[in-house]
Structure 1
Amino acid sequence: MDQLNAMRAFVRVVEAGTFSRAADLLDMPKPTVTKQIQQLEAHLRAKLLNRTTRRVTVTMDGAAYYERALRVLGEIDELDASMALSQARPSGRLRVESSAALAVAVVIPALPDFHARYPEIQVDFGLSDRPTDLLGENVDCALRAGEIGDQSLIARRIGEMYLITCATPDYLARHGTPLHPSDLEAGHRIVGYRYAAAGRVLPFTYVNGEESVEVKSDYVVSFNEGAGYVAAALAGLGVIQVPSFMVQEHIAAGRLVPLLTSWCSAPKPLHLVYPPNRHLSNKVRVFVDWLAELFAGDDKIQRKSTLKLLGREDCEVARAMQ
């Protein structure tokens, strides 16, 4: 048995869901794929797949083996790539984690440029606001906002974000317009954003010159994901504090009104993090460099209407929108 090829066949069957589809993707006869999986199960003395007439599902042993096999095959691919004569054409599978809001608003619209530069890199995006165990889940790199608590990760600071406070015109008609951050603690309803790593609702933070204010008001509802958080504000449930790129279209259309525009939020750093064992990977290196260019405002790949609102000028933009 060629165990390496059998592992590749097993991974492809798990991802494709059927032997026929996997065989097509591997460009080999279906009986060959079936035989490789049978030999692999016999070698491991474990059942990896449940087979039915319609589809294939993975067993518990198979799920565990899949994650380890994926990691091993990825390291082999990286080793092969590192021995290539030319590093100008990095290739392989790149697994990236990001918040959905940041990826949809900023990264995904610019991806055609990345694929034009590196057409042989296959990017698998995981979009979620939850914290990710990069090593345990075999993730190559992740975009994270805020300070990095895990000191075992390599972090590259690629930018910073400022937050905007806003609410709907209807909400403000019913509850009034706050003139100072402390006004939010009396007579106003807050929509909370719950940080998934700790399960706590983040306070609103403000800076005006040397004065700083932190608002920890009771909330009416909280979310651990950005799209739901913004949707709650649009429904008139209360006031939110959010990165401006998530709401700029709603503000421009008049669906949301920026508040407390003489106050900026404390800057929130934006990092690209990756495990130490990924730092020599060509595909990770070029993706990190490309993202750094994107957030630095490279004219070749920047969507100006999106990226202009990632810095301190947020406050000035918000004032202009009122």
Structure 2
Amino acid sequence: MDKFQAMQAFIRVVESGTFTKAAQMLDLPKTAVSRLIASLEIELGTKLLNRTTRRVSTTPDGAAYYERALQLMGDLAELEGSMSHAKSNPRGRLRVDLPVPLGLSVILPALPTFTARYPDIEFHFGLSDRPVDLIAENVDCVVRAGEIFDQSLAARQIGAVRQILCATPAYWDRHGRPSHPSDLEQGHVVIRTIASRTNRPFPIIVAKNGERIEVQNRRGLTSNDIMGCLTMSLAGLGVVHALTFSANTHLRSGALEAVLSDWASDPVPVFVAYQPNRHLSTKVRVFVDWLAELFAGNESTARGERGTGA
């Protein structure tokens, strides 16, 4: 048995969910993939996969073996990537966790420019805002807005995001357009995002000419997802302190109307965090550099710039 090939076959079966798809990905007959997995199970002395007529799933031993095999393959790709040729042509799998709004609105839509530049890098993206254990979950890097609480990680600021107060024109027609942030505290519904770490709404703080106001409004709606808050505002349910990069399309179309645009909130820094290895892998380094380039070229995420909401 070619253990390296068997390990590759096992990983592909787990990821695709079927022997047929794995065989197509490996350009092997399905029977050859089945034999490789069977030989691997015999050598290891344990069952790795549960097989049904429709789908394949891992046993507990199989799930543990998959994580270690994936790490070994990543280490091998990293070893190859450290060679001189791979420094200019990085390759291998990159596992990245992105926050949902930035991932869906900014990073993933621009990914073709990266894959055209580095076609030999494969991706697995997670979309979440939860804390991620990079070692235990075999993740190469995470992108997060706000403070990085895990002090064991290396972090690089790649941009900043801004927010703007907005609602539908129909909502403003019903409730009136505010001339001061304090106007939102009476007769308005304010939609807030709940912070996962504290289970409390994020504060809405804006400033103008040295005056700093925190909008206090007990009448409102909440969600643990910022895109959910934007969706509720688009439905006419209330005022949202929306991320400009998510709201801009709706502002341009007229679906949302911004107010108090001369009252600015503090930009929220965006970081990419990774394990503080002395030699940052080539594939991670080029991805981090690309992210910094991407954010610098976007007026809604560039550092030191203020979004207009236009």
AA aligned opposite 2:262:
S
1:236-275 map, 5 Å: 236-275=236-275
Q: Provide closer, same or farther for how the CA distance between residues 198 and 82 of structure 1 changes in structure 2, counting only shifts above 3 A.
A: farther
Instruction: Give the letter aligned to residue 309 of structure 1.
Output: S
Amino acid at match of 1:175: H
Deviations 1:126-164 (A, max 9, x none): 223334332222221122111111111111111112211
Q: What residue ranges of structure 2 are gaps of 5+ in the alignment?
A: none
Aligned to 1:75: 75
Q: 1:278 to 1:179 in 2, by over 3 A?
A: farther
| Structure 2 residue 42 is the aligned partner of structure 1 residue 9 | no
Local SS of the residue matching 1:247:
helix
SS of equivalent residue, structure 1 residue 252? helix
Contact 2:169 2:257 in 1 (8 A): yes
1:87-98 to 2 correspondence within 5 Å? 87-98=87-98
Q: Secondary structure at the match of 2:300?
A: helix
**Are 2:24 and 1:30 equivalent residues in the alignment?**
no
Deviations 1:179-229 (A, max 9, x none): 222332332211121223443321112122333222353353322223322
Tell me, in whole angstroms, the C-alpha distance in 2 between the residues paired with 1:286 and 1:103: 18
Counterpart residue identity of residue 4, structure 1: F
From the superposition, tell whether residues 127 and 36 of structure 1 become closer, same or farther in structure 2 (CA, over 3 Å): same
**Residue of structure 2 equivalent to 1:179:** 179
After TM superposition, give the deviation of residue 240 of structure 1 in Å: 0.8
Query: Which deviations, in whole Å up to 9, do the C-alpha atoms of 1:165-184 show, x marking residues without a partner?
Result: 11112222222222222332
Does the 8 A contact of 1:128 with 1:225 survive in 2? no
1:308 partner amino acid: E
CA gap 1:179/1:44 in 2 versus in 1, 3 angstroms: farther
User: Do residues 211 (structure 1) and 202 (structure 2) align?
Assistant: no
For the residue of structure 1 that corresponds to 2:289, the secondary structure is helix
Q: Is contact 2:189–2:238 with CA below 8 Å preserved after alignment?
A: yes
Question: What's the counterpart of residue 53 of structure 1?
Answer: 53
1:309 matched to 2:300? yes
Distance in 1, Cα, partners of 2:49 & 2:64: 12
What secondary structure sits across from 2:294 in the alignment? helix
Compare 248-257 and 172-181 and name the one that shifted more. Answer: 172-181
Instruction: Give secondary structure in 1 for the equivalent of 2:299.
Output: helix
Partner residue of 1:164? 164
- The one-letter amino acid paired with 1:254 is G
* Alignment check: 8 A CA contact 1:185 1:216 kept: yes
Q: Give the fraction of aligned pairs with identical amino acids, expressed as a percent.
A: 51
Moved more, 283-292 or 115-124: 115-124
What amino acid maps onto 2:160 in structure 1?
E
Shift of 1:277: 4.4
Give the CA deviation at 1:116: 2.0
The answer as to 2:188 corresponding to 1:188 is yes
In structure 1, runs of 5+ residues without a counterpart are 298-306
* Range that drifts further, 252-261 or 38-47: 38-47
- In 2, the alpha carbon distance for the partners of 1:120 and 1:219 equals 52
Distance apart, 1:27 and its partner CA: 2.5
Q: 1:252-311 CA deviation, whole Å, 9 max, x = no partner? A: 2221111222210111101111122495211111111111111222xxxxxxxxx22335
- Normalized against structure 1, the TM-score is what? 0.87
Within 5 A, what are the aligned runs for 1:229-240? 229-240=229-240
Q: Mean Cα displacement is larger for which, 263-272 or 59-68?
A: 59-68
Deviation of residue 246 (structure 1)? Answer: 0.5
SS of corresponding position for 1:272: strand
Q: Which residue of 2 aligns with 1:302?
A: none
Distance 1:19 1:158, change over 3 A: same
Q: Report what 2:128 is aligned to.
A: 128
Structure-2 change in CA distance of 1:114 and 1:49 (3 Å): same
Any conservation in 2 of the 1:206–1:213 contact (CA below 8 Å)?
yes
Aligned residues: 309
Aligned amino acid, residue 299 of structure 2: K
- Range with greater deviation from structure 2 (282-291 or 116-125): 116-125
CA contact (8 A) 1:129 1:226 kept: no
Which amino acid is 2:136 matched to? G
